[in-house]
Amino acid sequence: MTRWKSITVETRREAVDAVSHFFTTQGALGMAYDEQLYGPDGDPADPLPPPDEVTHLTAYFPWDADLASLKGEFLEFLPVLDESFGPDSGSFVSASEITDLGWAEKWKEHFKPQRVGRRITVRPSWEPYRAGPGEVVLIVDPGQAFGTGTHETTRMCLRLIERLFSSRLSPRRVLDFGTGTGILGIAAARLGAEETLGTDIDPKAVETANENARINGVSDRFRAKNIPLPSIRQRFDLIAANILAEILVDRKREIASLCTPEGHLILSGILSEKGDWVVREYATERFVLEDRIEDGQWTALLLGRPAA
């Protein structure tokens, strides 16, 4: 018998990805939300009816999760959600405890090795996989912390990291700000970075990232720490940050101060309509847009700092 906990919230349809992103950063193992896939008689609808503007989303957590704390974190997140999607973009509905006899193993069937770039493939630890010539396989299990390669924002970061390391500007020192599982920093280390630092405010994420570095064979080049940006004394050729646009803009001076001359930033977790805003804000720190990719409603930016 397996036991879980869950939190159900109400949110606008267009905010589902952002809410899913948030709950994943809080340690959610998975999410589910209602979809209108059937007609009024229970038959598959063709064409599908337009989705409701509001949907219920349920996030599932391990049994040791603190539901009261998770509810509080969600309520504190609501002003950020409202700022992105307008007033009343979300509300708390319920929290519950679940006893389930099969879901703990059943959910693993949905996670298979996934190619996310020309060379990078992400696979869960329970799925065997034989790498092809030149392929970089990252072993990261869903549900450990935010950033497992399944979300659009993480996939885009990995593609931009791969692109940068394929150029003549291959970074030597890398900072993974808000490291989560450590996947971005670990990818940089696997692609050739000599030194990679991952930072996160969540001690559990730091522990997870360091363990993932060990599993992926890069403990000598990647380390994760619970350390604030102002306490970091070195500078980096590449800084990767997969967090919300509002946080990226709020922390722009701290982030920029840690980047070397002619260094690069890879910024993700940005809703597409906020991409130009982030570019303008970082232009005040002498960064120019070198590449931009989009996936669904999200965008990721590659910014460079030209030589003075």
| 44-79 pLDDT tens trace | 444 444 445 778 888 888 888 888 899 999 999 999
Buried-state track 226-235, b at ≥16 Cβ within 10 A, e below 16: eeeeeebeee
Tokens of 178: 């808000």
| Separation CA 176–CA 33 (nearest Å) | 31
Which of 57, 79, 107 lies at the terminal end of a domain, its last residue? 107
Does position 81 have pLDDT exceeding 50, yes or no? yes
Contact status, residue 61 vs residue 2, Cβ threshold 8 Å? no
Tokens of 305: 């700092």
CATH of the domain at 54: 3.30.70.120
Q: Which residue, 258, 247, 307, 308, is CA-closest to 281?
A: 247
CATH of the domain at 167: 3.40.50.150
pTM attached to this predicted model = 0.71
- Kindly report the backbone phi and psi dihedral angles of residue 25, in degrees, each rounded to the nearest multiple of 5, phi listed first: -65, -20
Q: Are residues 54 and 160 in the same domain?
A: no
Check residue 48 and give its pLDDT.
43
**Domain range enclosing 277:** 111-304
Which of 107, 127, 159 lies at the terminal end of a domain, its last residue? 107
Which of 51, 85, 107 lies at the terminal end of a domain, its last residue? 107
- Kindly report the backbone phi and psi dihedral angles of residue 11, in degrees, each rounded to the nearest multiple of 5, phi listed first: -150, 165
pLDDT in tens, 273-291: 999 999 999 999 999 999 9
Q: Residues near 53 by Cβ (< 8 Å), separated by ≥ 6?
A: 12, 13
Q: Are residues 264 and 152 in the same domain?
A: yes
Q: Are residues 145 and 293 in the same domain?
A: yes
Does position 185 have pLDDT exceeding 70, yes or no? yes
Q: Are residues 47 and 149 in the same domain?
A: no
Q: Are residues 64 and 28 in the same domain?
A: yes
| Separation CA 23–CA 73 (nearest Å) | 9
Q: Are residues 174 and 299 in the same domain?
A: yes
pLDDT in tens, 206-238: 988 999 999 999 999 999 999 999 999 999 999
Contact status, residue 26 vs residue 5, Cβ threshold 8 Å? no
Q: Are residues 147 and 84 in the same domain?
A: no
| Separation CA 155–CA 286 (nearest Å) | 26
The domain tally of the chain equals 2
Q: Are residues 179 and 148 in the same domain?
A: yes
